[in-house]
Homo-oligomer: A and B are copies of this chain.
Amino acid sequence: MPGRATDPHPAKEIMSTQPSAPFDKPAEFHVYDTTLRDGAQQEGLRLSVQDKLQIAGYLDELGVDYIEGGWPGANPNDTAFFAAATSGELVLKNATLTAFGFTRRVGGKAADDPLTAALRDSGAGVACVVAKSHDQHVLRALRTTLQENLAMVTDTVAHLVAEGQRVFLDCEHFFDGFRENKAYATEVVRAATEAGAEVAVLCDTNGGMLPPWVGDIVAEVAETTGAKVGIHAHNDSGCAVANTMAAVDAGAMHVQGTINGYGERTGNADLLPVVANLELKYGWQLLPAGSLAEATRLSHAIAEVTNVPPSNRQPYVGLSSFAHKAGLHASAIKVDPNLYQHVDPALVGNDMRMLVSDMAGRANIQIKGEELGFDLSDRDLAAKITDKVKEREAAGYTYEGADASFELMLRAELDQLPEFFVARSWRVFTQSIHGHADDRHEVDTEATMRLEAGGSTIRVVGEGNGPVNALDHALRQALLPSYPAVERFELSDYRVRILDQGHGTDATIRVLIQTTDGLRSWTTVGVGQNVIEASWEALAEAYSYGLLHA
């Protein structure tokens, strides 16, 4: 055994992933976002003009270099977006707006092509033209000759450049094409750059590449053509981020991706992990100083607009991405958090979180209590709380995702929970006459409630677009005279899960409700045999917690 291994090592701060970029950041490196165009190809994702403007604002705040806004002229939505964006509704501080479009039609002239004209006249600072670079796609999908496709590239790029437009070229199906016919794929890159395209973006359109394959091909193309090469990867092999990194390692100076990895099929390369890897592990400054620390917030803000629930497991920005559950780790994390995280979560605007769970030991509960400002150093007290957590979780509650309910439970155990109100009874009623789909009319839900608050008994009735909404309105109305703060409370998320899959009336139902007062959000949990009962419990706790911190 080597001598060193027996020497005690002096304690020191560890940053376990020391930057080790293969080379310095190339000058004129581009971070190119295509959330609004290729991301919008995702199944179930639909963006209005207003959505696109809002997301473009977030992207600019993040500080990407280019925002691909869509395909002007191809559909009314994208055309309207460019019209709005270039007429003052979108003011970009960092990014250049980019318009996407195809090469001109087979057998035509770029100068006469209406879609080329739409690209030229979009008002965007850059046109990103997509061209076929796979010989079989030219011959069998486009149904033209290889020569005509090259002419389409040259003509379209040269026309746009002559008209004063900056041009990037997306080489569709490049990697598969390169394998089929290397000379032709390379010729497309050459034709584009000779005609004036600033970047030739190599696209793994079908997403089947693996990192070493991408690296080899990017290196060869960059070498043989001298072009500035970009990368556009999809995640079909589960390697979109790594393929993008491999392309950069091989000399690509332009990375395309989407926020949250949105995109067709398995999605595009998730741009935030790519940028975070390059900034935090290679030490390259790509975004404006301080912007990466906004990544978590902006990823979630964009998910609010797309209405696609974010994955808690997303690298860097996921709710769980720096969360620790194992009781075993909890005590060691107190020693040095950096022993257990690959980067400091604050660098991407995320937080380390300790999870309360039935797999947790006392150490987790103590750390969690301290986070909330309670002293649980007393072993017996911590053990009592831990037992209570285990008992409630066995009944179906979860405190991992419901910090607010955990605090209420903790305060109840510590006798530090004021009683803001007591509901004595409630009823909810929904009805439809002529309830057939083809003959519908308005359906209303009504909730009545008897409740004690501020020393008196109140009877209220609330209307809503469903039972929980009606209960929410009734409760708000009942509390408003005593607690004006409730006016700001708003339900921002509502999730239902059937536990123990009982397939019968004995199944337990768990409801999680997220509430916001415009400044902060909190999550509460309710459990019951009936979904309305469980919802009511989570709703009542949401108001109690909100009032506690109002």
Contact = CB atoms under 8 A, between A and B. Distances in A.
Interface in A332-357: 332, 335-336, 339-343, 355, 357
Interface in A148-184: 150, 173, 176, 179-181, 183-184
Contact of A245 (B211, B263, B322, B467): B211
A212 to B, nearest CB: 7
Contact of A43 (B139, B325, B443, B528): B325
A312 B242 contact: no
Contact of A41 (B325, B358, B426): B325
Contacts of A374: none
Interface size class of A (residues with CB under 8 A): 35 or more
A315 to B, nearest CB: 4
A203 B377 CA distance: 34
Contacts of A528: 440, 443
8 cross-chain pairs, A with B, having the tightest CB-CB distances, nearest first: A208-B342, A242-B242, A466-B531, A238-B273, A238-B241, A16-B176, A141-B332, A238-B315
A466 B9 contact: no
A87 interface: no
Nearest to A1: B187
Contact of A210 (B140, B245, B401): B245
Contacts of A274: 238
A239 interface: yes
B4 A181 contact: yes
A279 interface: no
A176 to B, nearest CB: 4
Given A4-B184, A11-B140, A432-B536, 13 more contacts: A1-B150, A1-B187, A5-B183, A8-B145, A8-B146, A43-B320, A43-B323, A140-B339, A237-B277, A265-B313, A307-B501, A424-B436, A466-B532
Interface stretch (A117-125, A222-230, A503-511): A503-511
A457 interface: no
A379 interface: no
A521 interface: no
A246 to B, nearest CB: 7
A181 B9 contact: yes
Which residue among A238, A464, A496 has the maximum number of chain B CB atoms within 10 Å of its CB?
A238
